Structure 1
Amino acid sequence: MQSIKQSPGAANLTRLLPVFSLLLSATLWGLFWYPLRLLEQGGLSGLWSTLLIYLGTLPVLLYLLHGRYAEFRKAPWLLAGLALASGWCNVAFVLAVLDGNIVRVLLLFYLSPFWATLIGWWFLGERIHPGTLVVLALALGGAVIMLWRPQAGLPWPEGHADWLALTSGLSFAVANAFVRTAQACSMQTRTAVSWLGVTLVALLLIMVLRVPLGDAQQTVLLAAPLIGMLGISIMTLAVVYGVAHMPIHRSSIILLFEIVVGAVSAQLLTD
């Protein structure tokens, strides 16, 4: 039987689709700080915003997992690692953008290509190309300049927001590695597990730290789950698809576009 070959146009689209998917995700994540600030102004703290937003993904999560529960037995430890890494990544990111300077937080978060390249090379056996090394050197140099403490004579985070952004970026790289290695599970399962991880980490921190709900407005309490159902669903599916279809050092570099979006939006939407 003669095999069916893809046309050049279809082949190009197949190659470009992960790139477009990552650019879409980066754009939406670069704007994500703004609704978070609005929720905070409405009386909803960062941890409660995170919990309610990701609870809003529950209907989509259940739909994605329908008929796929057996996949949890295929790679349980990889999925558990994905849940924990995604959980801390998203919780720390939300807290960082609420507490710190948007551009600074994004720049520190996007040391993730540096972590991703090391993880991909060391654990996944991915090759490092010279062009990638140049980009990573620039990113690392920028981070050193930004974190430089003249008093100490070395680069060091200034406060909570810096630490949250750095650990969020590291967790993002780890989560991407789990997405790449858990190929025995469908993209839908990996996406649902990442959302579940965020929900559980946020809930655990609320319980341990005893964070009260406060006097949040009713419209805010309704808006947060809606952001999750629509925004988070699109952003996460886009990034999981892109990361699953290319080496993690490449996907992490494409996602740097979020810094551009975040910087421009912060300039336009803040005083």
Structure 2
Amino acid sequence: MMPATGRPLTPVLLTFCSAILWGLWWITIRWIESMGLSGAQAGIVCNLGAALAIGGYMLATRMQLRLSARTLLGAVLVGLAFACYSLSLTLSDVVRAILLFYLAPAWSKIIEWVFLGQCWQGTSTVTLILSLGGAYLVLGGDVSLAAITLGDALALISGVAWAIGAALIFSGQKSTTSALTLATVVSAMLLSLAFAWGTGEALPTMASAPAFGTSLAVGAIYLLPVLGITMWSAQRLPPGLLSFLFTLEIVAGVVSGALLLDEPFGLYRMSGGVLIIGAALIEAIAALRPTAISEAKR
């Protein structure tokens, strides 16, 4: 438990770095897709590579896998969030998927109020209005079910799963980062497998050896360190503050997507992004209050 009066700068700086790398994750997914693997197949193999690497490290160091039920559930939900987010990057516009994911501050407020019994405050109303208003603009002013694609739905699910998972990890029993990361990548791999099976996609095979090998390497070299930092920070920073720090991903992802993919990024999306970032900023300011930090850890 961190003291209510202060917070080491290390998790904040590391979270900023990982946020930039998460914002560029779409490039890796699209690159693997161009080599012949679908979004679900890339998710399966990348998470397999990360699982093999962290699992091998834990075996070599004889590290035990100890997770409380609450923390394990949080890791599984973060794995769901990551799997859905990666899939959404191939099924929707990159800019759209990233911005819809960042409705997480709104979902966290609703979850805290309905399920955790926390008081609904004025800042909660502002956060909810800004987040939902931002989503309305990102969707181009059309919120009909016909306008929401599968990729959009997965991005929305990802944000909800992240909000719940981060809250459970922060409030749960302290665990090793390695154990948390292993649980997260294994759950993400299994969920990607389930998606591939449910949509009738073929499972990845060694027939596409270059793409298979590249995906394994990406999982071990790129995904594992970034996800490890995320899990480490999730145990040390309140969910609201963590979500705000990760809004740097919006900048990295939206700018790179607009530049490299020539995706549309007009006034509607820009305004929606500003509202969503504003909601996350309000959430972070509220989370930085010493009383909020101490109450969150009870």
Both proteins in one fold, TM over 0.5: yes
CA drift of 1:63 comes to 2.1
Going from structure 1 to structure 2, the CA distance change for 1:188 and 1:15 (only over 3 Å counts) comes to: same
CA distance in 2, matches of 1:143, 1:37: 24
Superposed counterparts of 1:142-153, under 5 Å: 142-147=134-139
Aligned pair partner of 1:200 in 190, 194, 197: 190
Superposed counterparts of 1:26-175, under 5 Å: 26-57=19-50, 58-64=52-58, 66-69=62-65, 71-72=66-67, 75-76=68-69, 78-79=71-72, 81-120=73-112, 123=115, 134=126, 137-147=129-139, 156=145, 158-175=148-165
Going from structure 1 to structure 2, the CA distance change for 1:137 and 1:21 (only over 3 Å counts) comes to: farther
CA drift of 1:62 comes to 3.9
Aligned 8 A contact 1:88 1:201 in 2: yes
Aligned pair partner of 1:254 in 245, 249, 272: 245
TM-score between both structures, scaled by the size of structure 1: 0.81
Identity across the alignment (%): 28
CA distance in 2, matches of 1:240, 1:214: 30
Aligned 8 A contact 1:96 1:161 in 2: yes
Aligned 8 A contact 1:145 1:155 in 2: no
Unaligned runs of 5+ in 2: 263-298
Going from structure 1 to structure 2, the CA distance change for 1:227 and 1:140 (only over 3 Å counts) comes to: same
Unaligned runs of 5+ in 1: 1-10
Higher RCO (C-alpha 8 Å, min separation 6): 1
CA drift of 1:17 comes to 1.4
Give 1:266's aligned amino acid.
Answer: G
Aligned 8 A contact 1:22 1:242 in 2: yes
Superimposed CA distance per residue, residues 197-248 of structure 1 (whole angstroms, 9 cap, x where no aligned partner): 1112122333444421389743221110111101111111111222211211
Superimposed CA distance per residue, residues 13-70 of structure 1 (whole angstroms, 9 cap, x where no aligned partner): x52212112111110110000111111111101111001001111221342474323x
CA distance in 2, matches of 1:19, 1:42: 35
Aligned 8 A contact 1:111 1:166 in 2: yes
Residue 8 of structure 2 aligns to a residue whose secondary structure is helix
- RMSD of aligned alpha carbons: 2.8
Aligned 8 A contact 2:70 2:173 in 1: no
Superimposed CA distance per residue, residues 141-175 of structure 1 (whole angstroms, 9 cap, x where no aligned partner): 2112233655xxx5655211111110111111122
TM-score between both structures, scaled by the size of structure 2: 0.75
